[in-house]
Structure 1
Amino acid sequence: MPTLPITLAVITRNEAACIARCLDSVPFAAEKLVVDSGSDDDTVAIAQAHGARVVHQDWLGFGPQRNFATTQCSHDWILALDADESLSPELAAELERTLPALMAGDAPAAWLRRRTIYMGRPMRWYRPSVGEKLARLYHRGRARWSDARVHESLRFEGDAPTFDAPFDHANNPTLVHKQLKVLRYAELKCRDWLDKGKPARMWQAPFVYLLAFLKDYVFRLACLDGWRGFVIAQTAASYALYKRMRYYEMVSNPPSVAEATDALNRHHIER
């Protein structure tokens, strides 16, 4: 397949199980770049075997890590995927067909639609998992990632087109993976709050849990996906509650910040 002057950029740590699928799903990229933050499995070797150039960078947080990756790319146009994401064949064909015109224009970025695979099969109704729009294709001179440690977003001005076909997200192969990720993500988010001096308002905690559950289960239609929808809504609400509890602990017991970081590292809980 002919290549296009675009870089596929993936940030990794211990992603041996899925990095090959991610890289192979973008056959038209002239460059495949993996920024690894210290994998101790076969991630680096597999990435190299599948055509990627691998650069090491100690973990900076999601936004800063993606911005670092941007500086390492050889091309101005960049497609950013997570290791557990991959283009569907339909989206790969759509991008190959339409990217030349997009890259010749002055658009800052483009929106892609993400389809989530949860508990082994796609979600059918839950709105964030069915056609969720994410800005993942961008020109590095016209867009930049936010500096958030977690839940980063691509910042740009101007109109951006949206592609129709989806890319796939193999979201947390088990609930164990999800709970481990919750611990890491909550820690990163609370560190952002700590840096900003956000007040710890524990009185909000019960309402946060209830509203988060209702938002996902009812208004985002998780209820229509059966028990999988219930699990998603409950997990999201628990995450919202745990963040508040953990942040309260950080504020009231500052040594817990370093102690928790050490515990996460000793138990190899990845980002």
Structure 2
Amino acid sequence: MQTFPLTLVVITYNEAHNIARCLDSVPFAAEKLVIDSGSTDDTIAIAQAHGARVVHQDWLGFGAQRNFATTQCSNEWILALDADEYLSPELAAELLERLPALMASANCAVILRRATVYMGAPMRWYLPSMGEKMARLFHRDRARWADVRVHESLRFDGPSVTLKARFNHENNPSLPQKQLKVLRYAELKCRDWLEKGKPARMWQTPFVFLLAFIKDYFFRLAFLDGWRGFVIAQTAASYAAYKRMRYYEMRRNPASLEIAADALIRHGIDR
């Protein structure tokens, strides 16, 4: 297959069950790069067997880890995927057709649409899972990841284009994995809030839970996906509330920071 001066970059930590599918979905990338933060499973060996160059980097936080990854890429144009994401055949075909013009353009980034597979099947109605727009293909000199611990996004000030086809996201293959991710993401987000000195407003928590559930279940059409939609809405609302409870604890009992960090590492939830 024709290849392009494009680097596929993936940040990993114990992604042996996902990484091959992700790497193989982009056969036209001249370089495949994995930035690993200390996997203890077969992630590295599998990535190398599927054509990737692996670089170790201790965990810096999502934004900083992605910005480090950018510095390790050999090409100016970069496609960033998570290990549990992969291109659909339709998006791969669209990229093959449009990459030459895109890479010759003055565009900063290309917006891709992400579809979610949840509990073993694609979501059919829930709006964020049907075509969430995400900047994932970009020119290294025209865009940069927000330097935050979690929920990072690509920042750029210039033109972009949006493609039609979607890439896929195998979203948390089981509820226990989702809950572990919630614990980790909440801890990272709360540490960002702590550094910024955000006030702890516990009184907002029940309202945040209710509004988050209503937003996802009704306005984002999760209810049309049956019980899977209910689970998604409830999980999102619980995450929104838990972040505020955990942040309140950090402010009230600073010793919990170190205690929680040790527990998360001990149980394999954090690096």
- TM-score between the two structures when normalised by the length of structure 2: 0.99
Q: Are 1:181 and 1:270, in contact at CA under 8 Å, matched by a contact in 2? A: no
Contact 1:13/1:270 (<8 A) preserved: no
Q: Which residue pairs with 2:151 in the alignment?
A: 151
Residue matched to 2:206:
206
Partner of 2:100: 100
Query: Aligned partner of 1:251: which letter?
Result: R
**Do structure 1's residue 48 and structure 2's residue 48 form an aligned pair?**
yes
Report SS of the residue matched to 2:40.
coil
SS of aligned partner of 2:214 = helix
Per the alignment, residue 259 of structure 1 pairs with: 259
Within 5 Å, which residues of 2 pair with 1:51-70? 51-70=51-70
- Written as runs of structure 1 = structure 2, the 5 A alignment for 1:95-244 is 95-244=95-244
What are the Cα deviations for residues 47-68 of structure 1, in whole angstroms up to 9, with x where unaligned? Answer: 0000000000000010000000
In the aligned structure 2, how far is the partner of 1:104 from the partner of 1:189? 37
Q: Report the counterpart of residue 24 of structure 2 in structure 1.
A: 24
Q: Distance in 2 between matches of 1:270 and 1:138?
A: 28
Q: Supply the AA of the counterpart residue of 1:202.
A: M
- Check conservation: 2:10, 2:34, Cα contact below 8 A: yes
State the Cα distance separating 1:159 from its structure 2 match: 2.1
For structure 1, the 5+ residue unaligned runs are none
Find the aligned partners of 2:64 and 2:224 in 1 and give their Cα distance.
37
SS in 1 for 2:160: coil
Q: String of CA shifts for 1:115-170, please: whole Å, max 9, x gaps.
A: 00000000011010001100000001000000010000000012211111100000
Post-superposition CA distance 1:186-207 (Å, at most 9, x none): 0000000000000000000000
Q: What is the match of residue 78 of structure 1?
A: 78
- 8 Å Cα contact 2:106/2:159 also seen in 1: no
CA contact (8 A) 1:108 1:160 kept: yes
Separation of aligned partners in 1, 2:46 and 2:78: 21
Number of residues paired by the alignment? 271
- Residue 270 (structure 1) shift: 4.4
Tell me how far apart the structure 2 counterparts of residues 111 and 54 of structure 1 sit (CA, whole Å): 26
User: For 1:79 and 1:140, how far apart are their aligned partners in 2?
Assistant: 10
Instruction: Report the alpha carbon displacement of residue 95 of structure 1 after superposing the two structures with TM.
Output: 0.4
| 1:192-238 CA-partner distances (Å, limit 9, x unpaired) | 00000000000000000000000100110001110000000000000
Give the AA of the match of 1:201. Answer: R
Give, in whole Å, the separation in 1 of the partners of 2:176 and 2:159: 40
Matched residue, 2:34? 34
Q: Is the 8 A contact 1:144 1:156 kept in 2?
A: yes
SS at match of 1:47: helix
3-state SS of paired residue (2:32): strand
Task: Report deviation, 1:96.
Answer: 1.0
Q: CA deviation at 1:269?
A: 1.1
Query: Which letter does structure 2 place at the counterpart of 1:241?
Result: A
Q: What root-mean-square deviation, in Å, do the aligned CA atoms of Structure 1 and Structure 2 show?
A: 0.7
Q: 1:17-41, CA deviations, whole angstroms, 9 ceiling, x for partnerless residues?
A: 0000000000000000000000000
Which letter maps to 1:155? Answer: R
Q: Deviations over 1:73-113 (max 9, x none)?
A: 00010000000000001101110110010000100001000
